[in-house]
Amino acid sequence: MLLVTKIFYFEIAHAIHGYAGACKNIHGHSYELEVTVSGCTTKDEYIPARGFIIDFKELKQLVTDLIIRMIDHKLVLSQDYIAEHPFIRSQENLVILGAEPTAENLLIHFQQILSQALPSDSKLVEMKLYETKDSFARWIDTTTLSYY
Q: Say if residue 91 is exposed, middle or buried (CB neighbours under 10 Å; 0-12, 13-18, 19+).
A: middle
What is the rounded average pLDDT for all residues in the chain?
Answer: 92
In DSSP terms, 126 is beta-bridged to 36, 140
Residue 67 has pLDDT above 90, yes or no: yes
Question: For residue 45, what pLDDT is reported?
Answer: 75
| Domain 3-147 in CATH 3.30.479.10 | yes
Confidence label for 40 from pLDDT (cuts 50, 70 and 90): low
Residue 145 has pLDDT above 60, yes or no: no
- SS3 (DSSP) at 25: coil
**Interval 91-106 mean pLDDT:** 96
So where are the chain's domains? 3-147
**Interval 133-142 mean pLDDT:** 95
Residue 146 has pLDDT above 60, yes or no: no
Query: Quick one: how far is CA 146 from the chain centroid?
Result: 23
Residue type, 122: S
Top-confidence residue, 145 or 80: 80
